[in-house]
Amino acid sequence: MLKGSQPNKIDNWVCILERGTEHEVNLAKSYLDSLKIPSNILSKKDSSMMMNFGELSMVYLYVPGEFEKKARKALREVDEFNKSDASDDNGDQPEESAD
Q: Tell me: the pLDDT tens digits for 75-86? A: 999 888 878 877
Q: Tell me: the pLDDT tens digits for 44-75? A: 776 655 555 555 578 999 999 999 999 999 99
Distance of CA 27 to the CA centre of its chain: 7
The answer to whether residues 81 and 73 touch, using CB atoms and an 8 Å cutoff, is no
Residue at 70 is within a domain = no
Residue at 28 is within a domain = yes
Residue at 34 is within a domain = yes
Number of H helices, E strands in the chain: 2, 3
The answer to whether residues 74 and 31 touch, using CB atoms and an 8 Å cutoff, is yes
The answer to whether residues 37 and 64 touch, using CB atoms and an 8 Å cutoff, is no
Please give the tally of structural domains in the chain.
1
Q: Is the pTM of this model over 0.85?
A: no
Residue at 3 is within a domain = no
